[in-house]
Amino acid sequence: MNDLNIRKAGRAGRITFTRPKALNALSHDMALAIHDALDGWRDDAAVELVVIDAEGDRAFCAGGDIAAVYRAGLAGDHATGQRFFADEYRMNAAIADYPKPVVAFMGGFVMGGGVGVGGHASHRIVGDTTQIAMPESGIGLIPDVGGTWLLSRAPGRVGEYLALTGARMGAGDAIHAGFADTYLPETHWPDLIARLEETGDPSLIEGRDAPTAPLRTMDLSPFAQDSVADIIDALEQDGDAQTLKILAGNSPLSMAAGLAMVRAARDDARMQESLAREYRFTYRATRDTDFLEGVRAQIIDKDRKPKWMADASPENVAALLAPLGPHELTLEERA
């Protein structure tokens, strides 16, 4: 596959994103290929760990390549998106549950689908170019790929803040929020990868003191409120015009659902429970939400003027998160 370089190098299984001009966006075929590679190395004694990185200096993976999902949804084909999300989430779960160390070198943009690959690795390395975000509220979706699980584990109200605003995190904030583990300047990455390939030993990973984490000192108390409307009221009382402007541009339904899902995920015992809940929304996304309009405005036409129409009431959020019956996401390991 031209979009990924999958190979064995020394004692490591190696996966490299190789479409830097597209910011290494993750397609359906790429998600399947990553999962296949992990399955192939699971019982391969020659592979002691897996290393995932990317070509180019702009992005590890800036998100899912959802143009095909958009086109299919416009044509009334909702199954294409459902298959994409299901297979992507199964790959995310495979990384989270992998029995061997998985080391992700997350430089540049790491957003949406990129978080689903790197954010669930056992060893998550970030550098000075790292910008991690879950910006789905801006395209009418919700933080998925296990994002609600990660957000739910962030300290304080960081999870709610990141889910609603889609704010970007540098290395320090990513470690503080639980999206990364180790800061290491990117000039050191090639040498470390070479040593991991040679030894298969993740204990060689030694970080440096992380940069400052602005999230540590931000007053995020408004995001403890019960609803998006109450959060907005609290921000208005604080005079936080910058955050209010961001929320005003995002899908009301996506924010309401994302808020509910991050809070629900706090009671999940395993990431797979969060993925299954996310799939209930994304299964219905091309038919019943603001997703197609958000993709049109932000990615296809790029007019940045979405016309949000979906019902953001608690009743509709509950309906979108209701069980799917026979269509519920299954995450059993593949034979």
pLDDT at 335: 43
Per-residue pLDDT in tens (0 to 9) along the chain, 335 residues: 789 999 999 999 999 999 999 999 999 999 999 999 999 999 999 999 999 999 999 999 999 999 999 999 999 999 999 999 999 999 999 999 999 999 999 999 999 999 999 999 999 999 999 999 999 999 999 999 999 999 999 999 999 999 999 999 999 999 999 999 999 999 999 999 999 999 999 999 999 998 999 999 999 999 999 999 999 999 999 999 999 999 999 999 999 999 999 999 999 999 999 999 999 999 999 999 999 999 999 999 999 999 999 999 999 999 999 999 999 999 865 54
Residue 88 burial (CB count, 10 A): 28
**Cα torsion through 182, 185, 187, 192, rounded to 10:** -20
Contact 35, 94 (CB under 8 A): yes
Sequence-separated (6 or more) residues with CB below 8 Å from residue 247: 164, 165, 228, 231, 232, 235, 255
The pTM of the full predicted model, rounded to 2 decimals, is 0.96
| Residue 64 vs residues 60, 172, 237: alpha-carbon distances, Å | 12, 25, 37
What's the distance, CA 54 to chain centroid? Answer: 16
Residue with tokens 């699980």: 149
Active site residue ranges: 64, 113, 136, 144
Which residues are within 8 A (CB) of 238 and not within 5 positions of it... i.e. 6 or more apart?
219, 222
What's the CATH class of domain 4-327?
alpha beta
**At how many degrees (to 10) do helices 158-165 and 252-265 cross?**
150
Q: What secondary structure letter does DSSP report for 20?
A: G
